[in-house]
Amino acid sequence: MSVNPRLNRLFAQDGKCLQVALDHGAVNVPSLIPGIENMQSVISTVAAATPDAILITTGQAHWLQDLKQNPKPALVIRVDFPNIYCVPTPKHVFCKLIDDAVEQAVVLDAAAIVLNLFWAPGQDEVYRQCIENIVRIKPQCERYGMPMMIEPMMLIHDEKGGYKTNPDIAKTVALARQAVELGADIVKADMAEQLDDYHLVVEAASPRPLLPRGGARVSDHEILTRTHTLIQQGAAGIVYGRNIYQHPHPARMIRACQAVVHEGATVVQAMAMLEEIR
C-alpha cells in the first residue's frame, strides 16, 4: 500500500510539519517529566493549538484519539523504548521494539510511526538492535501503508555521565543517510552546532523530508531563531518537545512556531506575535 495518504495527513499542503513530541516518558529519565505529569491535560492543550502532529506512545495515544475535536493533529506513534538516555548508563543498553508495532499503529489510526537509530561509542549492540528493528518493521510498514520515521541519533560520552548529542555534523549526515538507505519515509535528526550547515543533513536525507528535533529547553528567541534558520536551510518542519511542553504557555509557543514554519514569519515577527499573545 502507498504511504502517501498518511503522509498527506501528517504534512500540511505546503509540505511542512510542526510536530510536538510528548513521548519523553518512554525513556525513564526523571528530568524529562516536568511539564507532562498530566498527559490528559497536556495533550488537550497542545491539540487545541492545532500543530500538524503529536508524537506519543501507544499507552498515551487514547488521550488524543478520544478528543472530540475536528480537525485535530495527526497521531505519530513511538514504537521503541530505549534506556540509553539513563544516567548512569545501564550495564545492558537496549532499544526494545514493541510487538505488532504497525498493527497497533493502524488500530490507533496513526499517520506514522517513529523509531530510533542510535550510534554511541562502546554500544555496538544497541546500534545492531536499532538496525534489526528497522529492517524487521519496514516490510510491515509497506504492507499497511504506514510511513516510517527514523530518528538517527549520534551520541558521545558526557563528562557528567551517560551520553549527549555528538556535535559533529559529518557524523549526523552519515547516519541520516543510513536512515534513508534503510527505508525511512521521514528522517527526524538532531540540530547542528552550526545551523548554517544544516542543509548538508537535509541533502543527506533527500528526497525524504527532514524534521529536526529540538533538544533541551532554550530561550524563546533562540528556539525561534533556530526554527527560522532550519526552515531556510530546507528542513520540512520541526519536532519540538521540551521547548513546547516545558514552556509557560505551550499553546502560544506553538502558534509562534507555526508562523515561522507555515507562514514564513521572521524571528522578529514571531517574537512580536508571542509578546502580543501574552
What is the pLDDT, as a whole number, of residue 160? 82
Instruction: At 213, list the grid cell.
Output: 528535533
**Statement: the pTM of the whole predicted model exceeds 0.85:** yes
pLDDT at 254 over 90: yes
Burial of 99 (0-12, 13-18, 19+ CB in 10 A): exposed
Banded model confidence at residue 273, pLDDT cuts 50, 70, 90 = confident
State the pLDDT at residue 274.
85
pLDDT, tens digit (0-9, with 9 covering 90-100), for 192-213 = 888 999 999 999 999 999 999 9
Q: Tell me, rounded to whole angstroms, the distance of Cα 110 from its chain centroid.
A: 15
User: For 257-278, what is the mean pLDDT?
Assistant: 89
Buried b (16+ CB within 10 A) or exposed e, 198-212: bbbbbebbeebbbbb
Query: What is the distance between the alpha carbons of residues 232 and 247, in angstroms, rounded to a whole number?
Result: 24
- The continuous run of DSSP H or E covering 179 comes out as helix 169-181
Total structural domains within the chain:
1
Is 80 exceeded by the pLDDT of residue 276?
Answer: no
**Chain-centre distance of CA 208, in angstroms?**
15
Residue spans of alpha helices (H) in 87-168: 101-107, 124-144
Using the predicted structure, report yes or no on whether residue 54 has a pLDDT greater than 60.
yes
The answer to whether 146 and 9 are in contact (CB under 8 A) is no
Question: Which amino acid is located at 58 in the chain?
Answer: T
Distance CA 111, CA 184 (A): 14
Do the beta carbons of residue 209 and residue 236 sit within 8 Å?
yes
- 275 has a pLDDT exceeding 90: no
Residue 12, pLDDT > 80, answer yes
If you average pLDDT over every residue of the chain, what do you get?
96
> What DSSP line would sit under 207-218, residue for residue?
TS-EEEB--S--
CA atoms lying within 13 Å on the CB side of residue 8: 5
209 with 17: CB under 8 angstroms?
yes
Taking CA atoms, 198 is separated from 44, 77, 86, 274, in Å, by: 33, 26, 28, 26
* Grid coordinates belonging to 107: 488500530
Q: What is the pLDDT of residues 122-165, one digit of tens each?
A: 999 999 999 999 999 999 999 999 999 999 999 999 988 899 99
Q: Which three cell numbers stand for residue 30?
A: 526523571
Range of the domain at 202: 4-277
What is the CATH number for 172?
3.20.20.70
Q: Collapsing DSSP states into helix, strand and coil, what is residue 138?
A: helix
Are residues 134 and 182 in contact, defined by beta-carbon separation less than 8 angstroms?
yes
Contact 51, 258 (CB under 8 A): yes
**Predicted confidence (pLDDT) per residue in 218-239, tens digit:** 999 999 999 999 999 999 999 9
